[in-house]
Amino acid sequence: NYDYTIYHPLAEISTWMGQMVSENPDVVTLVDYGSTYENRTISLLKIGLKSDVTKKAVWMDCGIHAREWISPAFCQYFVKEILRTYKTDSKVEELLKNLDFYITPVLNVDGYLYTWKDNTTRLWRKTRSPGTDGCDCIGTDLNRNFEANWGMVGVSQNCCSNVYPGFKALSEAEARSVVDFVEPRKNDIVCFFTIHSYGQLILFPYGHPNVTAPNYNELAEISQAAAKAIKAVHGMTYTVGSFAEALYPAAGSSMDWARLIGIPFAFTFELRDEGSFELPENQILPTCEETYAGVHSVITYVHNKI
Ligand code: 0X9
Ligand code: ZN
């Protein structure tokens, strides 16, 4: 039986994905939708009840930043919980009747693998592709590489920086994979979650300080409700705001891109804690429990609106 209270290396997560499919063949499909710079496959799990019509859908990606290990741990917990509850909890069943879920447990596959190499690589954040000509550093920040005011704020053109946005928008295979999957389905995907750590924040578009989302007030309300749902579980405080106001301005994030292409509900969750990417394993379960409550709150709102 899979242990959801520890961090898992990439190979175990891959095996786990296969198990989810074989244990739930009617509801879970494995979709390989891209490959990384180092030619590894990027996969997601589609959770959806059989249907003749195309349903609206929810996107969730984890592990955009390699060192944020709680993020892939949450995606796995989320899949497990949905699959456990949809048969017995009529609310979850209702959600699944009307919504498909596309869940990527690890997007930055090369980076995640690298953080498991040894003690010196544990805090790697970026991809593993080389910088431009004349720079010796490796890696682009995937969360600065999307087409959303690319390169404008919160980035560094120094390719050694942790917020290097790449030599052009979508220079990274991993970002292109997301775009190639989501863009053709943008009318169906109504809700976009990207899961990070740390900071205990619920962020919504935009990360560029001079742009305001047309549904800013609604996004703020949904986020406040999610923060309240999170607090009810273990008493943890999550701060709510647009990227630019709650954290720091940052252009080129996947969330901003999702909102820009017309996905109405887009969120970045920054999970526990408030000071470290190395969240102790004894906090995995409580963090997943509260985050599930927050995400569930958002999805319930979205479901009632579609
Ligand atoms: O900097 C990031 O990409 C995110 N924080 S993290 O510590 N997980 O790297 C925050 C992205 C959202 N921030 C803004 N757009 N301000
Ligand atoms: Zn992050």
CATH number of the structural domain spanning residue 142 = 3.40.630.10
Please indicate whether residue 65, judged by its CB atom, sits closer than 6 Å to ligand 1: yes
pLDDT at site 107:
98
Note whether residue 205 is domain-resident: yes
As annotated, the active-site residues are 270
Give the residue, out of 162, 268, 273, 279, with the most ligand 1 atoms within 8 A of its beta carbon, to mutate for a pocket test: 268
The domain in which residue 240 lies consists of 10-305
pLDDT at site 135:
84
Residues 142 and 207: their CA atoms lie apart, in Å, by 14
- For the chain, the domain total comes to 1
Residues 143 and 243: their CA atoms lie apart, in Å, by 12
Note whether residue 1 is domain-resident: no
pLDDT at site 124:
98
For 122-138, the pLDDT digits (tens) are 999 999 999 777 788 99
Tell me how far the alpha carbon of residue 23 lies from the centroid of ligand 2, in angstroms.
Answer: 31
Full-prediction pTM beyond 0.95?
Answer: yes
Helix (H), strand (E) counts: the chain: 9, 8
Average pLDDT over residues 253-276: 98
For the chain, give the number of residues. Answer: 306
Note whether residue 5 is domain-resident: no
- More confidently predicted of 248 and 182: 182
Please indicate whether residue 195, judged by its CB atom, sits closer than 6 Å to ligand 1: no
| Cβ proximity of 131 and 151 under 8 Å | no
Please indicate whether residue 244, judged by its CB atom, sits closer than 6 Å to ligand 1: yes
For 75-104, the pLDDT digits (tens) are 999 999 999 999 899 999 999 999 999 999
Mean predicted lDDT score pLDDT of the chain: 96
Average pLDDT over residues 267-275: 97
Give the residue, out of 126, 145, 239, 243, with the most ligand 1 atoms within 8 A of its beta carbon, to mutate for a pocket test: 243
Q: How far is CA 170 from the centre of its chain?
A: 17
Note whether residue 167 is domain-resident: yes
* Residue 267: strand pairing partners: 193
Percent of the chain with pLDDT over 70: 100
Average pLDDT over residues 221-242: 97
